[in-house]
Amino acid sequence: EVQLLESGGGLVQPGGSLRLSCAASGFTFSTYAMSWVRQAPGKGLEWVSIISGSGGSTFYADSVKGRFTISRDNSKSTLYLAMNSLRGEDTALYYCAKATDTGLTDYWGQGTLVTVSS
């Protein structure tokens, strides 16, 4: 059974930093691209970033480019999102998600909440 468990969320001041983690199990982690998707309170889904199975390719939404860094440790089956220069508009529930080889997002974690506020 595929399981994705996010952690690392919390309250952070504007301009601060946070690192999210996503522990994966139930599939061969290194084979699949992984994404982060966020959802601001009461709002829709926003794709944030994706990383290839090897970790060699990364892509970002314009809204986070230059501030967020996605990475992975395939030996630990863990995905990361380092978030710097955080802003109020980054406040959201952050989901870790698995992609198939065609790019379909087929499994989601339960999310970790990031609140940016002074």
Partner 1 sequence: DIQMTQSPSTLSASVGDRVTITCRASQSISSWLAWYQQKPGKAPKLLIYKASSLESGVPSRFSGSGSGTEFTLTISSLQPDDFATYYCQQYNSYPIFTFGPGTKVHIK
Contacting positions for partner 1 (CB under 8 A): 33, 35, 37, 44-47, 50, 52, 57, 59, 95, 99, 102-111
Write down the least CB distance from residue 115 to partner 1, Å. Answer: 16
Contacts of 88 (CB under 8 A, 6+ apart): 14, 116, 117
Q: Which is nearer to partner 1, 3 or 17 (CB)?
A: 3
Give dist(CA 108, CA 6) in Å, integer: 10
Least distance between partner 1 and beta carbon 63 (Å): 12
**Residue 35 vs 78, nearer CB to partner 1:** 35
CA separation (Å) from 115 to 40, 59, 62, 102? 10, 23, 20, 33
Residue 85 C-beta: closest distance to partner 1, Å: 22
| Residue number with CB closer to partner 1 (44 or 118) | 44
Tell me the C-alpha to C-alpha distance, in Å, between residue 33 and each of 24, 25, 91, 97, 100.
12, 14, 24, 9, 7
* For partner 1, the closer CB: 16 or 74: 74
CB of 118 to partner 1, least distance (A): 27
